[in-house]
Amino acid sequence: MIVVLDSRCIWLSYLAILFIRLCILFLTVKLPAPPSQTCAHIASLIYERNVT
């Protein structure tokens, strides 16, 4: 069961990294501020949830 939890955490962190990369893409394209802020906020929430 420990292995399953670890692999799930790795998969979630991989998703979080992809999400953060999308956020950076959106920021470089210079979308309006609110969407990029919420994107970064969600990414940080995902990251915190995976770390803890």
Residue boundaries of the structural domains of the chain: 12-51
The percentage of residues in the chain with a pLDDT greater than 70, rounded to a whole number, is 67
From CA 41, how far away is CA 52, in angstroms rounded?
17
Question: Which pair of tokens denotes residue 31?
Answer: 């979308």
pLDDT-derived band at 44 (thresholds 50, 70, 90) equals: confident
φ, ψ of residue 32 in degrees (nearest 5): -55, 150
Residue 1: per-residue pLDDT: 45
Q: What is the pTM of this model?
A: 0.42
